[in-house]
Structure 1
Amino acid sequence: MARRRLERALLESRSREREEAAQGPAQLRIRYQVPLSSDPHGIYSLRFAPAGGCLAAGFGNGAVQIVNVATASLHSSLFRGHRTRHAITALAYHPGRPSLLLAVGADGIISLYSMDSETPLATVTEKENEINAMDFCMDGSTYATAGKDRHIRLYDSHTNQLSHILQAPDFMTGDVTPSSGHSRRIFALRFHPGERHMFLTAGWDDCVKIWDKRMAKEAQRVINGPHICGPGLDIQGNCVLTGSWVPHNALQLWDLRTSQLQKNLPFPGGPTQGQFLYAARFCDQDVVMAGGSGTSGASAIHTGTNQVLGEILLPNKPVQAVAVAPGGRVVAVAGIGGNLHIADLH
């Protein structure tokens, strides 16, 4: 009986896949534009909750607000911001405890919030550093930060204590090698979603470095080329997506195993605008989403056909952040002036 049910389910799944393939790739549809009180300060980071029902937004004055995705309304403000605070550059929900949200800022402050409180559960400050990137590992036991000082810091998420530092190379001692740390500031950091120990970093030094968090200091491999100036880095299986702040061939797919370029993805924009991407994310079914300052917009692109599935254009304001909900069908885009848009692939 159980075997027949399994066979029936497999047949139904294959039938749905054939129907979807016959219909062609999905199209991007804007559902909402969401005004928020901190919009004048700009949105620099976005992250969907693991269940997809809430979206966290980080602002230029340090504010962190939570949006109800279904109603496109403000759910709560975890921190209302302050004139002395800097931009929230990265947000991440704890994979095992989705009621916990980690926020990091360009002022070097790490704040751990609970969804039901405006008071941080924990605060850590990285002195004399601007944090540009942060992410949790797959099981949530560790999170890593990176930024201006080029060091990569690994924290125990249970205690928020620093557990290890992958030191940036010292130019005075001449220890710069392909496997050493970054030579210029880091703007992107992503853990592999299916592997506990692997993570990637990228920044101004035109490369992506592939790390194993169990290793003391050396990168495992290097992808040469991408010039990353924001959260323009993502991983899906053995494929790496990069969005570079360059005029042409800004959106690229790379083979994680060989570090070789797989293909350049065409991004819309005229020859006078350039592409100049800040953010890039994988969606579902061979679709990626990317945006930046070249077109002041974000586009969904099918990686197999190179077809543009839709655009979200901001009013002459750069896109700073792109987020994709679990399942890959709902996306969010925001940037200077706020301009939060929620859209879906249908």
Structure 2
Amino acid sequence: MTTQTRTTERRGSISQASSEISLNRPRRQSKVVDTRPKHLTLGDFELTNVVDCEEYVLCCKYSPNGEVFAVGLGNGMIKVYSKKGEFQYVLTDADTKTRRYPVTWLRFYANKDDSKSDQNKMLAATYTAGYVKIWHWPTQQCVYTFQEQERQPLALDFNCNFQHLFVAGSDCAINCYDFQTKKLIRKLSASESRERMDGHKNRIHAIRSHPVMDTVFLTGGWDETIHYWDERAAQSQKHFAGPHLCGDALDIIADHQVILTGSWRKSSTLQIWDFTSGELIKDAFEKNATSMLYCTKFCPKEYILCAGNEKNEAIVYDYSILQMIGGITDLEHAVYCADNDPSSTKPNMIVGSGKNIFIVNDRSRIR
């Protein structure tokens, strides 16, 4: 989602607490303003902390072990916090200080088979200023910058073996990099044919690698199509139409062989598709969606996390019956991002709204 879209997007608002009149002093009014962020928790979920990030939160991501989470901000900074929300590091360099453009996407390097433990402390980020940065977050050092100044990189993902990095952007194309050599392997995009739909025709806002197929990944964006790519081919292999993606709202679960999409619109927001055929399996909110979605993902495979605006919320659903189990709603600002803690068997989550990160945990004894 572009900076302009985020800026002009209508955000929900909740009025400040009204003035209270002291009964003991009827001629004097004592104005008490509640400055705490407004919210309503649902189900057995509990708000455990609110982190003030000081700038607008555009993306957030837990580390693979759930010990820390990173937050990408509108001024080009990345902040890293402990699991409980304690500030740890800030990631910034001369580029980000000079061009204070938004961070649009975050992914931690998480190769369990990599013997270089230090490499598992890497974090990849896209910036609308026209570059992708790889950070060693414990030392706050940028170890490499991929220059993409001819476009705005908007989303990225590692393939399942973490050897390649796929970067999608405003030019409707995907750059495939070798993560070890930092060389561009191939640029994937639609052909010039008007008869074939073999790539995107508008900005790409979501990308997701297949969990076990190391050359396969999916993309989606503003042109309301989901494309299947194999990095060995220049054009997409097939596609299906429907979802309108504006953020991290595309996921795959290999166990069920399904695709999950979240659309930024007033109907048919959460949809589940068959991975092999691309056929629609379930249109969960065809007519009664409560929010226009910026973020959708499995958390873990038994649950679905949906976050967006209108009601400014992050809600968790049971995947098998698509019934809400809880979450947080009625926040003061739109929810542009959310993520679940991968170290937990419960759908504990972080939720980005305005300049805050809300840490919301599932306190149910059943799950």
* Partner of residue 225, structure 1: 242
* Alpha-carbon separation, structure 2, partners of 1:107 and 1:117: 23
Tell me, yes or no, if structure 1 residue 344 matches structure 2 residue 362.
Answer: yes
Matches within 5 A, 1:53-68: 53-68=67-82
Matched residue type, 2:158: F
Q: For the Cα contact (< 8 Å) 2:300–2:342, is it kept in 1?
A: no
How far the C-alpha of 1:314 sits from its partner, in A, is 5.3
Matches within 5 A, 1:269-308: 275-308=291-324
Change (3 A) 1:345 1:262: farther
- For the aligned residue pairs, the C-alpha RMSD in angstroms reads 2.3
* Partner of residue 145, structure 1: 167
Q: How many residues align?
A: 310
* Partner of residue 271, structure 2: 252
* Partner of residue 50, structure 1: 64
How far the C-alpha of 1:185 sits from its partner, in A, is 0.5
Q: Identity of aligned pairs, percent? A: 26
Instruction: Give the ranges of 4+ consecutive aligned residues of structure 1 lying more than 3 Å apart after TM superposition.
Output: 80-83, 266-270
* Partner of residue 7, structure 2: none
Of 143, 152, 155, which aligns to 1:121?
143
Of 193, 203, 209, which aligns to 2:211?
193
State the structure with more CA Rg. Answer: 2
Tell me, yes or no, if structure 1 residue 132 matches structure 2 residue 154.
Answer: yes
Q: For the Cα contact (< 8 Å) 2:190–2:235, is it kept in 1?
A: no
* Alpha-carbon separation, structure 2, partners of 1:189 and 1:235: 10
* Alpha-carbon separation, structure 1, partners of 2:360 and 2:100: 27
Matches within 5 A, 1:16-95: 29-36=45-52, 38-39=53-54, 41-69=55-83, 71-79=84-92, 82=97, 84-95=99-110
Change (3 A) 1:304 1:212: same
Tell me, yes or no, if structure 1 residue 242 matches structure 2 residue 257.
Answer: no
* Alpha-carbon separation, structure 2, partners of 1:285 and 1:160: 32
Q: For the Cα contact (< 8 Å) 1:221–1:259, is it kept in 2?
A: no
How far the C-alpha of 1:269 sits from its partner, in A, is 7.0
Change (3 A) 1:85 1:311: same
SS at match of 1:138: coil
Tell me, yes or no, if structure 1 residue 98 matches structure 2 residue 120.
Answer: yes
* Alpha-carbon separation, structure 2, partners of 1:198 and 1:314: 38
Q: For the Cα contact (< 8 Å) 1:234–1:242, is it kept in 2?
A: yes
Matched residue type, 1:35: V
SS at match of 1:245: coil
TM-score normalised over the length of structure 2: 0.79
Change (3 A) 1:295 1:117: same
Once the two structures are superposed, what CA deviation does each residue of 1:122-154 show, in whole Å capped at 9, x if it has no partner?
Answer: 112201311111000111100111111111100
How far the C-alpha of 1:31 sits from its partner, in A, is 4.2
How far the C-alpha of 1:63 sits from its partner, in A, is 0.7
Change (3 A) 1:75 1:342: farther
Gaps of 5+ in 1: 1-25
Change (3 A) 1:344 1:223: farther
Matched residue type, 1:335: S
Matched residue type, 1:78: L
* Partner of residue 186, structure 2: 164
* Partner of residue 34, structure 2: none
Q: For the Cα contact (< 8 Å) 2:328–2:360, is it kept in 1?
A: no
* Alpha-carbon separation, structure 1, partners of 2:316 and 2:299: 9
How far the C-alpha of 1:267 sits from its partner, in A, is 9.2
SS at match of 1:304: coil
Once the two structures are superposed, what CA deviation does each residue of 1:153-189 show, in whole Å capped at 9, x if it has no partner?
Answer: 001111222111003444xxx44512x2100110000
Change (3 A) 1:176 1:292: farther
How far the C-alpha of 1:294 sits from its partner, in A, is 2.0
Q: For the Cα contact (< 8 Å) 2:43–2:327, is it kept in 1?
A: no
Change (3 A) 1:344 1:79: farther
Q: For the Cα contact (< 8 Å) 1:334–1:340, is it kept in 2?
A: yes
Q: For the Cα contact (< 8 Å) 1:201–1:208, is it kept in 2?
A: yes
Stretch moving more, 73-82 or 219-228: 73-82
